[in-house]
Amino acid sequence: MIQVIAEITGSIQGALGCVAAAIGVGLVGTKAVEGVSRNPGASGKILVQSIIGMALAEAVAFYALFLGK
């Protein structure tokens, strides 16, 4: 019984980590589009920073999936 509860809580932790990463990537993408719409000349710099931000947000999902168990 305890093992089943541990598996369920690990799955919940992984799911919440993935949901948080998805929200983070969505926010980064939204702000990147807003930034490019305000200043199209800075699209190269904004693209680089948004890719780095999305990668860091996705790292949260990997931490939640692989280090949580």
All domains in the chain, ordered by first residue: 2-67 (1.20.20.10)
Q: Is the pLDDT of residue 69 over 70?
A: no
Let me know if 35 is exposed, middle or buried by CB neighbors in 10 A (0-12, 13-18, 19+).
middle
The answer to whether the CB of 17 falls within 8 A of the CB of 63 is yes
pTM: 0.78
Q: Quote the pLDDT of residue 21.
A: 92
The answer to whether the CB of 18 falls within 8 A of the CB of 63 is no
Selected residue with higher pLDDT from 49 and 60: 49
Q: Is the pLDDT of residue 9 over 80?
A: no
Q: Quote the pLDDT of residue 1.
A: 80
pLDDT tens-digit profile of 10-49? Answer: 788 888 889 999 999 999 999 999 999 999 999 999 999 9
Count CB-CB contacts under 10 A for residue 59.
12
